[in-house]
Amino acid sequence: MAVQRTFSIIKPDATKRNLTGKVNAMIEDAGLRIVGQRRVQLSEDQAKKFYEVHAERPFYGDLVKFMTSGPVVVQVLEGENAIAKYREVMGATNPAEADAGTIRAAFAESIDANTVHGSDAPETAAEEIAQFFTDADIVG
Ligand code: ATP
Ligand code: MG
């Protein structure tokens, strides 16, 4: 499996509780490298665009409200099989279903306030990285 890049967000529930370092320790312990990183306040338009795929879902409005409720940390992660590996480290969307040892099992408060985002495929990873980073912002 080749080296890949994936896009990560540390969500507002985690930045509010000062958990950025603890989340990133789990990411690094899994062998992923943080090669791009920025702390930002998402605008409503940015959050809506980012989760556009869920626009028709009943939770879309609450999701946008949550993602703009405080700062987030946007990151590019790099490593062997990074997309699937990070999804594994994150755990299931609903923390009640997340395996022990995953970020969501350790820190997520609910299915909305679930601490992290990770890309789900190579195409979405490339699109999501490009929404927040230029090539010059990523140093491997
Ligand atoms: P993310 O895209 O944030 O990494 P995910 O890929 O595990 O999470 P998705 O199905 O893409 O899950 O959903 C995006 C986000 O929408 C979830 O992280 C969660 O916060 C929210 N969400 C998903 N399903 C529900 C639901 N049934 N009720 C409330 N919120 C939900
Ligand atoms: Mg998703």
Tell me the per-residue pLDDT of 67-118, one tens digit each, with 9 for 90 and over.
999 999 999 999 999 999 999 999 999 999 999 999 999 999 999 999 999 9
Structural tokens at position 18: 């000062």
Spacing, Cα 112 to ligand 1 middle (Å): 7
Q: Is 92 in the pocket of ligand 1 (CB under 6 A)?
A: no
Mean pLDDT score, 1-17: 96
Nearest CA to ligand 1 atom 1: 117
Question: Dihedral of CA 31/32/34/40: which sign?
Answer: negative
Q: Does residue 1 carry a pLDDT above 90?
A: no
Q: Is 111 in the pocket of ligand 1 (CB under 6 A)?
A: yes
Q: Is 59 in the pocket of ligand 1 (CB under 6 A)?
A: yes
Helix 82-90 vs helix 20-29: crossing angle, to nearest 10: 130
47-52 long-range contacts (CB < 8 A, ≥24 apart) are 49/131, 50/128, 50/131
Place of tokens 């099989």: 81
Nearest CA to ligand 1 atom 21: 112
Q: For residue 115, list its beta bridge partners.
A: none
Spacing, Cα 50 to ligand 2 middle (Å): 10
Percent of residues, the chain, with pLDDT higher than 90: 99
Q: Is 91 in the pocket of ligand 1 (CB under 6 A)?
A: no
Q: Quick count: other Cβ atoms within 10 Å of Cβ 118?
A: 24
Concatenate the DSSP letters of all residues of 50-97 into one string.
Answer: HTGGGTTSTTHHHHHHHHTSS-EEEEEEEEETHHHHHHHHH--SSGGG
CA 133 to chain centre: 14
Q: 98 CB contacts (<8 Å, ≥6 apart)?
A: 90, 91, 92, 104, 105, 108
Residue numbers annotated as active site: 117
pLDDT of residue 110: 97
Contact 119, 128 (CB under 8 A): yes
Tell me the per-residue pLDDT of 21-54, one tens digit each, with 9 for 90 and over.
999 999 999 999 999 999 999 999 999 999 999 9
